[in-house]
Copies of this chain bind each other. A is one copy, B any other.
Amino acid sequence: MAIKRFGISLNSTLLKRFDTLLEKKGYNNRSEAIRDLIRDTLVKDDLEYGDNDTVGSITIVYSHDTRELTDTLTELQHRFHTSIISSLHVHLDHHNCLEVIIIKGKGKEIKKIADRLIGTKGVKHGKLSMTTTGKNL
């Protein structure tokens, strides 16, 4: 892919503060940090207005003592098996489990599946984090 280069200008106080932040965050150079800011803006805009396929990562924490959830998860995975790409299960302690479910599809469908999972009895906390397919970024 062709690499383009352009210049940006800003006042020295702002630049100094930005450089300090980059060092703290472990960035090696300004270009990479600015590319990240640009990509994050594009991903946000995609989520709000885009009609393309996107990817969501749902993290739920639940008590496995509640059997119903396992059934709901299984039932959801069957119903939405074309959308759910993969999942990860972590045993947090004797009672609590964490599960991450990766879903690909339209934003609305991903949100619907997330709502169903988070609303299930036994799920203590759930969060949907929207990301990207990585295409055109």
| A interface residue numbers (CB < 8 A to B) | 1-15, 17-18, 21-22, 24-28, 30-43, 45, 55, 57, 59, 61-63, 85-88, 90, 92-93, 95-98, 100, 102, 104, 115-116, 118-121, 123-127, 129-137
Given contacts A57-B57, A87-B88, A125-B134, 5 further A-B contacts (CB under 8 A): A18-B41, A26-B120, A37-B38, A88-B88, A95-B134
Nearest chain B residue, comparing its CB with the CB of A62: B134
Output the least CB separation between A27 and chain B (Å): 5
B7 and A123 within 8 A (CB): no
Are B40 and A125 within 8 A (Cβ)?
Answer: yes
Q: Are A98's CB and B102's CB within 8 A?
A: yes
Instruction: Report chain B residues within 8 Å CB of A135.
Output: 93, 96
The docked-state distance in angstroms from the alpha carbon of A38 to that of B22 is: 11
Q: Are A5 and B4 in contact (CB under 8 A)?
A: no
A7-B6 contact given A39-B14, A98-B102, CB 8 Å threshold:
yes
- B9 lies within 8 A of A31 (CB): yes
- Give this chain's copy count: 4
Asked whether A100 lies within 8 Å of B102 as measured between CB atoms, the reply is yes
Q: Please name all residues of chain B whose beta carbon is closer than 8 Å to the beta carbon of A121 when the two chains form the complex.
A: 28, 32
